[in-house]
C-alpha cells in the first residue's frame, strides 16, 4: 500500500515502442504543495512518463497511486476528472476558434440547448484575472503570438481545478518577463497545495522554481534530489552521464564578403516590420534578439517570401531578388527553419525519409517516378551527418525526440544546398546535450561559407555563438553590434527602445 504523504506515486513504470524501450522501471513521487522538476536529455522518457500518467499511453507495467489510491487512466478525460491536468510541450489548440472556446472545449456552459456565451466569457475572464493573464477571451486564438497561446493553455489546465499539474517545457516560447509571470502563477498554485511536475531543459529555471529534481537518462531513473543540493554542473553531469565542461563549441568561423543585403524593408500589412536594413556575410552567424512582438519571425518570413513587403530591396550576392513564395526562396538559395516545429516543420505521421527529402522532391523524380535509391542515400546522409538517433529511415517523425526532429529538418534544408539559412528558435525545447550539437552544426555551416540568421529568445546562446547581434524592437532595428560589445542588460535596453 502506498504512503499517504505523497500526492502522486508512479512506481516501476515501463513502456516499450517498436524498436525502443522508452521507459524502464521508472519511479516518481510528488508531494503536495511542491514543484518537482523532471529533467533529462531529449529521448530520456520524460514526456512519455507523463503521457502514461495522463492516459495518453498505456504503461506496459508499473503502478500509479493518487493520494494513496491505486489508479489507471485510459484517456485524458479520466485523468482530468481525477484532478490531473497537463500542458503539453507542443500546443494542440483550435486556432480558428476564440480563446474562451479553447478554454471550455468539451464542457461548454449551456442555457437550455444553447451554449451560454456570456457565461463562457465571464468564466474565462475570471480564470485569467485570478492568474493575472491579460488576454481577451473573445480574441481568435490563431491571431495571438505563441507566448500568449502558451499562457492560455496554462490557464486552461488550471481551470480544471487540478490537484496535480504537469507543465512540459512551459517557457520555451516565453520572454523573461513572461517567465517571471508564470513563476508567480506556479507559486500561487503551490501555496494552494497543488503538486506541480515541471519539465524543462533550462537549468537556471529549475534551480529557481523547484523543490525537488528527478533526472532521467535513456528511459531510466537516475536520481532524485532536493533542488538546493544541486548546481548547473551536477545536473548536466547527471543528465548526460559525463562532465560537460563547455556550454558552447569553440568559434572557428570567419565572416567574409557580404552575401545578403536587406535595404529599407517594410512589411505590406500592419503591424509589421518597418524600414529594416542590414547585411549578412558569408561565414557569419547573425543573431536576432528582441521581445515577443518585436517581429523577428515576421522578418524571416518576409525574406523567405511567406510574407509580403511593400517597400525595400533584397540583394543576394549583389543581385536584386524577390522571393514571391517559398518555392522562389528555395530556388534562390534560402532555407527557413520555422519556430513551431510540430505545426510548420515536420510531417509527424510520415517517416524520417519523407521528412528528409520533401524540400528537394523534384530532384528525385523523373517522369513522375521517384528514384528510391537516391532518396535512401540522401536520407542516410541526413541521418549520418546530423547524427540523428532513429531506429530506421521508416520511423515516424513524431516518434523521435525534439532534438532529433530538429536535426532531420536541418539536414532536409542542407540537401537543397542553400546559401542563406534562416533559423527561427532552432534550439527551442531541446536539451543541453542536443543544443551543443546544434550549435556545432551551425558553426560548421558558417565554416562552409553559409550566411546564417539566428533568431533566439535565449540571450546566452546568442552571445555564445553569434558574431553580431541585431536587436529588434516593435518591428524596427534598435541596434546591430558585435557580440563582444554586448551583454544581456544592453540587449534588453535595446529591445525596449521603441516600445
402-414 vs 372-385: helix crossing angle, rounded to 10:
120
Of 240, 267, 282, the domain-final residue: 240
Instruction: Please list the ranges in the chain whose pLDDT falls under 50.
Output: 1-4
Looking at the structure of the chain, the number of domains it has is 2
Residues 149 and 22 in one domain: yes
Cell of 98: 476564440
Instruction: Report the C-alpha gap between 170 and 368 in whole angstroms.
Output: 44
List Cβ neighbours of 34 (8 Å cut-off, separation of 6 or more).
190, 195, 196, 211, 212
Could you tell me if 436 and 355 lie in one domain?
A: yes
Asked if residue 61 and residue 135 are part of one domain, the reply reads yes
- Tell me, yes or no, whether 58 lies in a domain: yes
pLDDT of residue 287: 97
pLDDT digits 0-9 by tens, 140-199: 988 887 778 888 888 888 888 889 999 988 887 677 788 888 899 899 999 989 999 999
Residue 234 belongs to a domain: yes
| Beta carbons of 410 and 383 less than 8 angstroms apart | no
Do 213 and 281 belong together in one domain?
no
Q: Could you tell me which of 149, 158, 141 has the C-alpha nearest to residue 89? A: 149
Cα end-to-end distance, the chain, whole Å: 58
Across the beta sheet with 20-31, the strand order is 20-31, 6-17, 61-66, 69-71
Beta strands 110-111 and 84-87, pairing class: unpaired
Q: Which residue among 240, 273, 296 closes a domain?
A: 240
Q: How many residues does the chain have?
A: 499
In terms of domains, do 440 and 488 share one? yes
122 shares a domain with 167 = yes
Question: How far is Cα 359 from Cα 454, in angstroms, rounded to an integer?
Answer: 20
Place of cell 515501463: 14
Q: How many helices (H) and strands (E) does the chain have?
A: 16, 24
Q: How many CA atoms lie within 13 A of 496 on its CB side?
A: 8
Task: Give pLDDT tens digits for 189-246.
Answer: 999 899 999 998 788 889 999 999 999 988 899 999 999 999 888 888 888 776 656 7
Separation in Å, CA 443 to CA 221, 439, 448, 453? 34, 6, 9, 12
Q: Are residues 234 and 263 in the same domain?
A: no
pLDDT at 19: 65
Domain boundary among 240, 269, 301: 240
For residue 121, which phi and psi values (nearest 5 degrees)? -65, -45
pLDDT of residue 51: 92
Residue 435 domain boundaries: 258-495
Residue 475 burial by CB count (10 A; 0-12/13-18/19+): exposed, middle or buried?
buried
pLDDT of residue 242: 60
Amino acid at each position: 500500500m502506498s504512503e499517504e504523504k505523497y500526492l502522486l506515486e508512479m512506481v516501476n513504470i515501463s513502456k516499450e515502442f517498436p524498436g525502443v524501450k522508452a521507459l524502464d522501471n521508472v519511479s516518481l513521487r510528488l508531494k503536495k504543495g511542491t514543484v518537482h522538476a523532471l529533467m533529462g536529455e531529449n529521448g530520456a522518457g520524460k514526456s512519455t512518463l507523463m503521457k502514461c500518467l495522463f492516459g495518453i499511453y498505456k504503461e506496459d507495467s508499473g503502478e500509479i497511486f493518487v493520494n494513496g489510491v491505486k489508479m489507471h487512466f485510459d484517456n485524458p478525460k479520466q485523468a482530468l476528472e481525477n484532478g490531473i491536468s497537463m500542458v503539453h510541450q507542443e500546443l494542440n489548440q483550435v486556432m480558428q476558434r476564440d480563446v474562451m472556446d479553447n478554454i471550455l472545449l468539451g464542457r461548454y456552459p449551456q442555457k437550455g440547448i444553447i451554449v451560454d456565451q456570456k457565461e463562457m466569457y465571464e468564466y474565462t475572464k475570471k480564470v485569467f484575472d485570478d492568474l493575472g493573464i491579460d488576454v481577451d477571451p473573445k480574441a481568435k486564438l490563431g491571431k495571438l503570438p505563441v507566448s500568449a497561446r502558451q499562457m492560455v493553455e496554462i490557464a486552461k489546465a488550471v481551470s480544471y481545478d487540478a490537484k496535480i499539474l504537469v507543465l512540459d517545457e512551459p517557457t520555451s516560447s516565453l520572454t523573461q518577463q513572461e517567465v517571471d509571470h508564470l513563476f508567480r502563477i506556479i507559486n500561487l498554485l503551490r501555496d494552494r497545495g497543488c503538486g506541480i511536475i515541471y519539465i524543462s531543459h533550462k537549468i537556471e529555471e529549475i534551480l529557481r522554481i523547484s523543490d525537488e529534481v528527478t533526472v532521467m537518462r535513456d528511459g531510466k531513473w537516475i536520481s532524485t534530489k532536493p533542488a538546493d543540493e544541486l548546481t548547473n554542473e551536477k545536473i548536466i553531469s547527471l543528465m548526460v552521464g559525463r562532465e560537460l565542461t563547455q556550454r558552447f563549441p569553440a568559434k572557428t568561423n570567419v565572416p567574409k564578403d557580404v552575401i545578403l543585403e536587406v535595404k529599407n524593408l517594410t512589411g505590406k500589412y500592419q503591424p509589421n516590420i518597418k524600414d529594416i536594413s542590414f547585411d549578412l556575410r558569408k561565414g557569419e552567424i547573425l543573431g536576432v534578439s528582441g521581445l515577443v512582438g518585436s517581429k523577428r519571425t515576421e522578418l524571416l518570413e518576409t525574406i523567405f517570401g511567406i510574407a509580403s513587403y511593400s517597400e525595400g530591396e533584397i540583394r543576394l550576392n549583389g543581385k536584386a531578388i524577390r522571393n514571391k513564395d517559398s518555392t522562389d526562396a528555395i530556388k534562390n538559395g534560402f532555407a527557413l527553419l520555422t519556430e513551431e516545429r510540430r505545426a510548420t516543420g515536420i510531417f509527424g505521421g510520415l517517416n524520417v525519409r519523407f521528412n528528409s527529402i520533401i524540400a528537394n522532391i523534384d530532384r528525385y523524380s523523373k517522369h513522375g517516378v521517384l528514384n528510391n535509391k537516391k532518396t535512401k542515400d540522401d536520407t542516410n546522409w541526413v541521418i549520418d551527418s546530423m547524427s540523428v538517433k532513429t531506429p530506421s529511415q521508416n520511423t515516424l517523425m513524431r516518434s523521435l525526440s525534439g532534438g532529433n526532429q530538429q536535426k532531420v529538418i536541418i539536414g532536409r534544408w542542407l540537401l537543397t544546398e542553400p546559401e542563406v539559412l534562416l533559423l527561427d528558435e532552432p534550439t527551442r525545447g531541446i536539451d543541453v546535450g542536443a543544443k551543443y550539437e546544434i550549435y556545432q552544426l551551425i558553426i560548421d555551416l558558417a565554416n562552409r561559407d553559409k550566411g546564417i540568421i539566428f533568431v533566439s529568445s535565449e540571450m546566452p546562446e546568442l552571445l555564445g555563438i553569434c558574431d553580431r547581434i541585431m536587436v529588434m524592437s516593435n518591428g524596427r532595428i534598435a541596434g546591430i553590434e558585435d557580440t563582444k560589445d554586448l551583454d544581456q542588460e544592453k540587449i534588453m535596453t535595446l529591445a525596449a527602445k521603441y516600445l
